[in-house]
Structure 1
Amino acid sequence: MRERLLRGGALLLAIGVLAGCSPAAPEGDTPVAPPATGEPSTPDPESSETATEPVELTCESMISAGLVSGYTAQGWTAVSNPLYIGSTLIPDGMSCTWGNHAGEGNDIAQVFGYGTLTPELAAQAQADLAAQGWTTEEDPAGVVVTEPREGALIKDADGYGMSYLFGDGWVRLADTRESLILVVWPR
C-alpha cells in the first residue's frame, strides 16, 4: 500500500496535479514540462554573447519548478544531505529528501540527488554498490545501478527501487529508476 501511495503521489506531482484536486493520473503518463516564464532574453547589442547567471545546485534547482510547486503546495519541504553512493562520498554532490518533515506520520517522501565525479570515483562508487548486491544495466543515458529488488522498500511500475544513473562526469539519484527522469540538473 505504501509503495502504491508513493508511486501515485509521485505521478500526481510529476504532472503538476495538486493533491485532492483531481483523481490520480493513469500509470504511464509522463511528466509535463512547466511552461516557460518571463520574456526570452535579448542579447546585448554591444556583446556577441548573452550573459547568463549560473544556477546553484539546490534541492529546488535539481528538479523542475513545476514539481517544486507541487511539493510546496502540499506543505512539503526538502532536507539536503551530502551525496553518498554506498560508502563513497561524492564531494560535489547533494541528495535531497522531499516530504512533510513537520507533519505526523511522514512515511511518504521522494529522494533525489545529483553530483559531479571523476571516472575513478564513478568506478569506485559502482564497485561499492555491486559489492552490496546492486545490479548494473546499460541504458542509452548511461549506466544504471539499482538496489536489489527483494530489498527495495519503494518500487516503480517495473519493480525497480533506489537507482543511480551514471553519465559522463555526473551521477543522478532517485528513489526509483522511473523517477530518475525527474532530476533535471544541470540546467
Structure 2
Amino acid sequence: MRLLARVILPLGLAVGVLTAATACSGGAPSPAPSTKPTSDAKSIAPEPTTTPPSSDTPATPPASMSCETLIPSDTVAALHKQGWAAMKRDFAFGPDPVPGGIECLWSDPAIASDRGLLYGWAPIAGAEAKTRQEQLVASGWIREDSARGVYITADPRASLSQDEDGYGMTYLFGPGWVTVSDTKQGLVLIDPQG
C-alpha cells in the first residue's frame, strides 16, 4: 500500500532533473553546505556516520538492465496499471553522460505534467566518483556518509518534492556505482541485478 501511495504522489520531477543538471554545471547558486539536510517543514534524523565503502573499479552493468528490470517487477506492474510508461535515457551529471548508465523517468505519457518518478543507476568509481560528489556539494547539495555509501541530496529548501523524511532528489554512491531517485526513499527500489 505504501508503494501505491508513493507512486501517485505529484513530483517536481522536471525541476529536480533541471536542478541536477545545473548542479554539476555550476549554474545554480551555492548555499552554504552543511552535513545534513534541514527543512522548516520536517526534521531529518541523520544516519550514523561510518566509513562508506569504496572502489577504484566501476561495477559492470548487467546485460539485461532496462527500465523494466531496474526496479522491482511489482513496482513496474503497479506503474503500468496506472497507465505510466518509462522514458529511458543516459545517466548523466549535467551534460556529461556516464557510460553504461541508465535513467528512467516514469510518468503518464498522455499527460504533460510534473508528476513522475526517477530511477537511475550507473557504474562509477575512484576519482570520477569523488569529483562528482565534490561538484554536487559545491553546488549546494548536501553530503551524508552512511554504511550504504555516500548520499548526496538536494537542499530541501530547493526541493519541490520530498519523501516522508524530507529528502528530495538524492544520489547514492556505492562501491563502483551510483544510483539516483527523485527522493531518498526511492533509492531502496533500485536493484540493477534484479
Do both share a fold (TM > 0.5)? yes
- Cα deviation, 1:138-185, whole Å, max 9, x if unaligned, reads 122111000111111110111110000000000111100111101122
Task: Tell me the CA shift for residue 130 of structure 1.
Answer: 1.0
**What corresponds to 2:74 in structure 1?**
66
- Match of 2:168, SS state, is coil
Change (3 A) 1:156 1:142: same
Q: Would the aligned equivalents of 2:152 and 2:172 in 1 still touch at CA under 8 Å? A: yes
Query: Cα RMSD over matched residues?
Result: 2.1
Change (3 A) 1:173 1:64: same
Which has the higher relative contact order, 1 or 2, with Cα contacts under 8 A spaced 6 or more apart? 2
Task: Tell me the CA shift for residue 80 of structure 1.
Answer: 0.9
- Cα deviation, 1:68-103, whole Å, max 9, x if unaligned, reads 0001111100001111124543112111100101x2
Gap runs ≥5 in structure 2: 10-61
Are 1:152 and 2:159 matched, yes or no? yes
| 2:144 pairs with one of 110, 127, 137 | 137
Compare 141-150 and 88-97 and name the one that shifted more: 88-97
Counterpart of 2:193, as a letter, is: P
| 2:5 pairs with one of 5, 8, 11 | 8
**What corresponds to 1:20 in structure 2?**
none
TM-score (norm 2): 0.66
Are 1:80 and 2:88 matched, yes or no? yes
Structure 1: distance between partners of 2:126 and 2:68 = 27
Structure 2: distance between partners of 1:74 and 1:176 = 20
- Match of 1:176, SS state, is coil
- Match of 1:62, SS state, is coil
Q: Extract structure 1 runs of 4+ deviating beyond 6 A.
A: none
Counterpart of 1:112, as a letter, is: Y
**What corresponds to 2:45 in structure 1?**
none
**What corresponds to 1:185 in structure 2?**
192
Structure 2: distance between partners of 1:11 and 1:76 = 10
Are 1:94 and 2:102 matched, yes or no? yes
TM-score (norm 1): 0.69
Are 1:108 and 2:105 matched, yes or no? no
Structure 2: distance between partners of 1:55 and 1:149 = 35
- Match of 1:166, SS state, is strand
Q: Which has the larger radius of gyration?
A: 1
The number of equivalent residue pairs is 140
